[in-house]
Amino acid sequence: MQTVDVAGVAVGALDAGGWVDHLCACVSRGGAHHHVSLNAAKWVALRTDPELRRIVHSATSVAADGVGIVWAARLAGTPLPQRVPGADLAEALIRQGIVRSWRVGLLGARPPVLQRVVEQLSTAGADLVFAHHGYFHDAAAIADAIAGARPELLLVALGSPRAERFIGRHLARMQVPLVLGVGGTLDVWAGGARRAPRLAQRAGLEWAWRLALSPRARFQRALVDTVRFAAAIARGERVPMEPS
Ligand code: UDP
């Protein structure tokens, strides 16, 4: 896959359709693949978190989840085709999974949210072979249970960087052909959280929508991350290539 260097991270230069094809091919190939959705906050965390850095650098693919990543690529003179949010990919992959009869696993969210999503997806025809909420203590036992259920697609909705850490630490033991961290997507599907209107999404303003609706502490954190990201990019800073 052709990639673009976005301040030290190799980001795949595919449009939405290209990403779906690429990720379907991962499932067909088998093995264990981790797809990462990169936004400004994650990029900022990478600079100071060696484990997260190692996990993201060794992921099978990284897509530009946030508009900040697309801007940074454009600023560097190596534009990406478009922003491809993890939430959109998760939805497209669930559809593909239904058509292609994939075994699907879900990990994360609060129990009632997960329960609602399990009901919705089962009704839609998904073959759910594993589902567990995201408030567990024994991560190794969860990973073993996933390995035993043998999903072909696993969506991990633990928030970031919790999802990346879980995937990075347990991917080899789980042997799932395609694993994605999907943030708060299950909450959106269950109806407890809303995405920005399409118009705002297309204008690259989903982050502003999310900020406006978020609690004060999260608003402040996201604002700080966005400012840090913009300042670091303006200074030409990069994520180190070496894991530590
Ligand atoms: N979540 C979870 N386990 C946890 C923390 C969070 O399953 O220990 C879920 C949470 O219920 C939600 C998703 O992760 O469905 C994203 O949470 P949040 O929006 O807090 O993520 P963040 O802001 O940390 O990315």
Question: Average pLDDT by consecutive 10-residue portion of the chain (244 residues)?
Answer: 96 98 98 97 94 96 95 96 96 97 98 97 97 98 98 97 98 98 94 75 75 73 88 94 62
Predicted pLDDT at 242:
66
Predicted pLDDT at 192:
62
Predicted pLDDT at 167:
98
b/e for 19-47, b at 16 or more Cβ within 10 A?
Answer: bbebbbebbeeeebbbbbbbbbbbbbbbb
Say what the pTM is.
0.92
Nearest CA, atom 14, ligand 1: 158
Q: How far apart are the first and last CA of the chain?
A: 26
Q: Helix 67-75 crosses helix 206-213 at what angle (to 10 degrees)?
A: 140
Mutate to test the pocket of ligand 1, among 36, 106, 162, 220 (most ligand atoms within 8 A of CB): 162
Mutate to test the pocket of ligand 1, among 158, 210, 213 (most ligand atoms within 8 A of CB): 158
Q: What are phi and psi of 34, to 5 degrees?
A: -120, 120
65 CB burial (10 A radius; 0-12, 13-18, 19+): buried
Predicted pLDDT at 28:
97
Cα(161) to centroid(ligand 1), Å: 10
State both tokens at 244.
Answer: 């530590």
Q: How many CB atoms lie within 10 A of CB 10?
A: 17
Cα(74) to centroid(ligand 1), Å: 31
Nearest CA, atom 17, ligand 1: 159
Q: What are phi and psi of 180, to 5 degrees?
A: -130, 140
Cα(87) to centroid(ligand 1), Å: 14
Segment holding 172, helix H or strand E: helix 162-174
Cα(48) to centroid(ligand 1), Å: 21
Nearest CA, atom 25, ligand 1: 159
Place of tokens 């940074």: 72
| DSSP label of 133 | -
| Ligand 1 atom closest to 134 (CA) | 7
Rounded to a whole number, what is the largest CA-CA distance in the chain? 50
